[in-house]
Amino acid sequence: MAKPKSIHVILSLLIIFTSALTSNASERSNLPSSSKWAPRFLGKYSHLTKPNFRQPQIRYETRYYDQSLDHFSFSELPRFRQRYLISTEYWVGPQRMGPIFLYCGNEGDIAWFAENTGFVWEIAPRFGAMVLFPEHRYYGESMPFGSRDEAYRNATTLSFLTAEQALADYAVLITELKRNLSAEGCPVVLFGGSYGGMLAAWMRLKYPHIAIGALASSAPILQFEDIVPPETFYDLVSNGFKRESTSCFNTIKDSWDALASQGQDNDGLLQLTKIFRLCRPLKRVVDLRDWLESAYSYLAMVNYPYPSDFLMPLPGHPIREVCRMIDGGPVGTSILERIFEGVSVYYNYTGQTECFELDDDPHGMSGWNWQACTEMVMPMSSSQDGSMFPAYDYNYTSFQEQCWNDFKVKPRPTWITTEFGGHDIKATLKEFGSNIIFSNGLLDPWSGGSVLQNISESIVALVTEEGAHHIDLRASTKEDPKWLEEQRATEIKLIESWIKNYHREKRGSFVM
């Protein structure tokens, strides 16, 4: 029986990945401090990141809204300053009912998301749209209780960090803003990627009077309870390797035992330190294992068909490259040496890194870990056969204990599906709701928990075989493959149809 792996790592991948996608070195210092649940490398390696294409010129104003801390009770609570970024540069204004593009900020600094959601900025001019990026409470600068330290002090101060409160923040903010601009008649279109995509889809469902449609990219709204099998995520990561090379998959699968066995040797930890060129002596094998697992999971998410540079500079088809290294070592190379060569593609593609920091020092609580321990309970297992990771059966009891230890909070594992649905989503939404695009790339391991089939005529799934995690939301590049251009063109067409339809209805009601 294999040892249980650190299930918490993956629960944090959603945030870490999106943060990673959207951060750059100079802003990293503002990142929520990572905890033992999160991959450790985020802050360390980000300075290696150098964009390989120009972001579109993004200009916005930063403003703040005095927001209610609790929308659903009338407790006497201090309000907080919610940051939002706004650009009216291309907006045609209220008279012409110019649309408002609202990106549902997710678990990170909103400026990063704004800078890394080029799609919205690129299409705003052709729509004459206002662009709005409100920040998610408890992230970036939008801290209740005056500071991050106070907001993250304990379960009481953190208790208002929920998706419903964040959605209500957006609803109140946009309603107020439209009122101030006499823009009540302007249609709002929602955008979001990853957790932000979940928020966009949910907001369209819960606040149809506020937004006419949503583009929810890589939004795993079905990754809850028993809606999809708990093995889905790791099986998909593993498939990404298997499709490149069975022997690569097998080598990784075998490596965990090799790692454990090496760790048990007399000078095992020292040997591992050497093999993996760690900057400091390895203390526990599990830290190295987490580091490797994170690399594979991230690789699956950013397995784009062209060179990219998010958390790490990577070649196109990075998994192919990793497997080439793992499979291609000279005769006599050990499993672990091959593994090292493989993950070096991820951690050190530029070759500039002398040694690696695992950063296994747990410190502080992170916002997403809190969310994972309260509402966002996503069961994750690693299957015996389909997964190249150590086998692990999701165990709610130990998850709950961990949450209690870390936050003194009790998760509500069935709440998200009670509040937002998920089971039998096709039957529910077939004749209810409209105007949602669920876009997904099948290489993205999060796609397994997303909506991959059309639900109705206007709640549609855009699925790309070769796509990974919400690449459609990023700025276009000269290297974009045809299918990506087509995907974005379809998205634009659908959004256009929502707005046209809205304008037609509005004009109709003026005549009435």
Q: Which residues are catalytic?
A: 194, 444, 469
By CB under 8 A, tell whether 426 contacts its own copies. yes
**Coil, strand or helix at 64:** strand
**Cβ at position 400, least distance to its own copies in Å:** 14
**Cβ at position 166, least distance to its own copies in Å:** 11
Q: What is the 3-state secondary structure (H, E, C) of 5-54?
A: CCHHHHHCHHHHHHHHHCCCHHHHHHCCCCCCCCCCCHHHHHHHCCCCCC
Q: Restricting to residues 7-66, which ones interact with its own copies according to CB under 8 A?
A: none
Choose between 429 and 461: whose C-beta lies nearer to its own copies.
429
By CB under 8 A, tell whether 70 contacts its own copies. yes
Q: Restricting to residues 146-205, which ones interact with its own copies according to CB under 8 A?
A: 155-156, 158-160, 162, 164-165, 168, 171-172, 175, 184, 205
Q: How far is CA 137 from the centre of its chain?
A: 16
Q: Give 258-280 as a DSSP string.
A: HHHHHHHSTTHHHHHHHHTTBSS
By CB under 8 A, tell whether 425 contacts its own copies. yes
Residue 489 bridge partners (DSSP): none
C-alpha dist (Å) from residue 319 to 243, 332, 415, 474? 10, 23, 36, 21
Which listed residue (26, 57, 75, 352) binds its own copies by CB under 8 A? 75
Which listed residue (19, 82, 218, 374) binds its own copies by CB under 8 A? 374
Choose between 241 and 420: whose C-beta lies nearer to its own copies.
420
What residue has token string 């890589």? 218
Encoded amino acid at 32, one letter: P
By CB under 8 A, tell whether 423 contacts its own copies. yes
**Cβ at position 106, least distance to its own copies in Å:** 19
Which listed residue (61, 430, 497, 500) binds its own copies by CB under 8 A? 430
By CB under 8 A, tell whether 414 contacts its own copies. yes
What span, in angstroms and rounded, lies between the C-alpha atoms of 29 and 8?
A: 23
What span, in angstroms and rounded, lies between the C-alpha atoms of 241 and 320?
A: 8
**Alpha helices of 39-154 — where are they, by DSSP H?**
42-45, 110-115, 118-127, 148-151
Choose between 227 and 443: whose C-beta lies nearer to its own copies.
227
Which listed residue (309, 419, 466, 496) binds its own copies by CB under 8 A? 419
Stretch 194-233: interaction string toward its own copies, x if CB under 8 A:
-----------xxxxxx-----------------------
Which listed residue (76, 354, 385, 465) binds its own copies by CB under 8 A? 76
Stretch that binds its own copies, among 42-50, 243-251, 386-394, 501-509 (CB under 8 A): 501-509
What span, in angstroms and rounded, lies between the C-alpha atoms of 13 and 44?
A: 16
What span, in angstroms and rounded, lies between the C-alpha atoms of 249 and 242?
A: 5
Which listed residue (418, 486, 489, 497) binds its own copies by CB under 8 A? 418
**Cβ at position 462, least distance to its own copies in Å:** 20
**Cβ at position 240, least distance to its own copies in Å:** 28
Stretch 97-126: interaction string toward its own copies, x if CB under 8 A:
------------------------------
**Cβ at position 359, least distance to its own copies in Å:** 29
Total number of residues shown for the chain: 512
Phi then psi dihedrals of residue 377, to 5 deg: -85, 105
**Cβ at position 433, least distance to its own copies in Å:** 6
Phi then psi dihedrals of residue 424, to 5 deg: 60, 40
**Cβ at position 34, least distance to its own copies in Å:** 22
Q: Give 146-209 as a DSSP string.
A: GSHHHHTSSHHHHTT--HHHHHHHHHHHHHHHHHHTT-TTS-EEEEEETHHHHHHHHHHHH-TT
Q: Which residues contact its own copies by CB under 8 A?
A: 68, 70-76, 155-156, 158-160, 162, 164-165, 168, 171-172, 175, 184, 205-210, 374, 409, 412, 414-415, 417-435, 458, 501-502, 505-506, 509
